[in-house]
Amino acid sequence: MAYEEEQAKGSRVVVDTPTSRREVVQTEAVRAPERSSSVSGAMLAVVVIGAIALATVIILFAMNQQQQDNLNANTAQTAPPQTIVQQPAQQPPVIIQEPAPAGQPPVVINQPASGSTSSSSNDSTIQAAIDKKLSDDPILSTLGVTATVMDGKATLIGTVKTEAQKAQFERAVRSVKGVKSIDNQIIVEAR
């Protein structure tokens, strides 16, 4: 028997009765599975489950490390916000007349457009007044909203937290002498 081991147990009992004497033989066979040096099924299951758990932990650690690296790379690449104020070009137009008759060179006339010189100097004065008004206000100066002026029209650009702050900017700019109209493009952050 390759897988089992059989043990036989025998016993002899003598029974005396008044009329006879007899002998009773009793045998009992006990089978037990053979014990070998191989690993049991339960032990094998425990090892497999442990290996799966270990592999899962290693994969999660590697994914977390990769996510950390990506986050650090994105943080390093993010530049601080910059405020760019673009002023319109302040150049008078160039007018060229029809070609002169043969023998005369062409005449080039630089003629300022009506009111453009006074408008551009007015705009720079208004711009300076708006910038001063916003920088002098302790609340408005910290919010990073910019104003540009062109032909007396002030354009407000930036982001604030409340509608009240947006309205406060517009009132401050409207109070500056020379501002004809306001284009309020300030965005209120959604909460």
pLDDT, one tens digit per residue, over 166-189 is 999 899 999 999 999 999 999 998
CATH code of the domain containing 178: 3.30.1340.30
Q: Is residue 171 part of a domain?
A: yes
Residue 95 lies in a domain: no
What pLDDT was estimated at residue 43?
85
91 in any annotated domain: no
Give the pLDDT confidence score for residue 119 in this predicted structure: 64
- Structure confidence by residue, pLDDT tens digits, 144-168: 888 889 888 999 988 888 999 899 9
Question: Is residue 130, in this structure, part of any structural domain at all?
Answer: yes
Amino acid code (one letter) for 39: V
Q: 103: pLDDT confidence band, cut at 50, 70 and 90?
A: low
- pLDDT at residue 18 is higher than 60: yes
Whether 131 is in a domain gets the answer: yes
Residues 119 and 62 in one domain: no
Q: What is the count of structural domains for the chain?
A: 2
- What mean pLDDT, rounded, does the chain reach? 77
Domain around 60: 4-32+40-66
In the predicted structure, residue 32 carries a pLDDT above the cut 80: no
Is the same domain home to 183 and 120?
Answer: yes
The answer to whether position 122 is within a domain reads yes
By the 10 Å C-beta count (0-12 exposed, 13-18 middle, 19+ buried), 51 is classed as exposed
Residues 55 and 119 in one domain: no
- The token pair at 60 is 């999660």
Would the pLDDT of 51 be above 90?
yes
Nearest Cα neighbor of 148 from 136, 158, 162, 160 is: 158
* 26 assigned to some structural domain: yes
Q: Is the per-residue pLDDT at 3 higher than 70?
A: no
Q: Given pLDDT bands bounded at 50, 70 and 90, which one contains residue 92? A: low
Closest among 157, 156, 87, 155 to 120, alpha carbons compared: 87
94 belongs to a structural domain: no
Say whether both 119 and 181 belong to one domain: yes
